[in-house]
Chain A
């Protein structure tokens, strides 16, 4: 925890959730379960976000919206699926309009199960996401450095 160089910002989007996991995500950011003490902040702008928290399953209407939000986020990025509906489709798996969890349209890195997922599990997911984001940033920096060196030598 002492070696944290960056504070990643979070983008939260509700796919087709019942809203239970969304308010638990918001409750994780507010007093008592404050995740902002870890340095994360909830932003509404996908171009300024590093971690994508997605809740709810994917249906035909929001598949393109989720994909567009994911594409707008700059690399490196981490995706966390919060709640069982985002992991697999949940209790609505057999419904006629649900295609599945979030991994039907975008690659998911961390799965946080629960119905509704508790703030303690969500914060655990955010911490793992932050560590993964740290690792990816370092790999991204190393790659950029290597490419710049090759360009200068060429």
Chain B
């Protein structure tokens, strides 16, 4: 029997590149093996594993997500990822948008809310949310710019050229 030596590799990517990387894996006919979430240093560490069934190679894509950030769902490329994503959002409170078949936190229907997120992490998340809200409020209440400088948000002036000569 020929033993196939399995190769396992880890890739770290930013959250913005997630959809493109997953689409490339789908093009290459990789199978989604699992999606796993863990809380490391007050951040979510999400690992997407893809396998090639011919060579038994396993590629793990790691994405670090902040406690208040949202990541997109990969259900467009892999429809059956919705079970993993529902589970992660219920157990960890990870915000995932556009899940196809969203159970809205009622997949396992447990009584405890986000049991895998420790109390410290929940407090940290609340503090971060407060800071983000304050920053957004300050940006909305910024004073108006000076008169001399052209206001970039205003529309440009349209010059109307009147044609001379007799009209109809």
Direct A–B contact in complex, judged by CB atoms less than 8 Å apart: yes
A residues near B, CB below 8 A?
A: 59-61, 96-97
- Contact-residue size bin, chain B (C-beta under 8 Å from the other chain): under 10
Beta-carbon contact of A96 and B112 below 8 Å: yes
Pairwise interchain contact B112-A61, C-beta atoms closer than 8 A: no
Q: What are 14 contact pairs spanning A and B, CB under 8 A? A: A59-B110, A60-B109, A60-B110, A60-B111, A61-B108, A61-B109, A61-B110, A96-B110, A96-B112, A96-B115, A97-B110, A97-B111, A97-B112, A97-B115
**Which B residues touch A61, using CB under 8 A?**
108-110
Question: Lowest 4 A-B CB distances belong to which pairs?
Answer: A60-B111, A96-B115, A96-B112, A61-B109
**Bound Cα distance from A59 to B109, whole angstroms:** 10
Q: How far is the CA of A91 from the CA of B151 in the complex (A)?
A: 68
**Alpha-carbon distance between A96 and B118 when the two chains are bound, in angstroms:** 13
Closest residue of A by beta carbon distance from B112: A96
**Chain B residue with the shortest CB-CB distance to A97:** B110
CB distance from A77 to the nearest CB of B (A): 28
Looking at the assembled complex, report how far the CB atom of B124 sits from the nearest CB atom of chain A, in whole angstroms: 20
- Distance in angstroms between the alpha carbons of A123 and B112 in the assembled complex: 37
Task: Report the Cα distance A77→B108, complex, angstroms.
Answer: 32
Instruction: Indicate with 1 or 0, residue by residue over B79-119, a CB within 8 angstroms of chain A CB atoms.
Output: 00000000000000000000000000000111110010000
Chain B residues with CB under 8 A of A60: 109-111
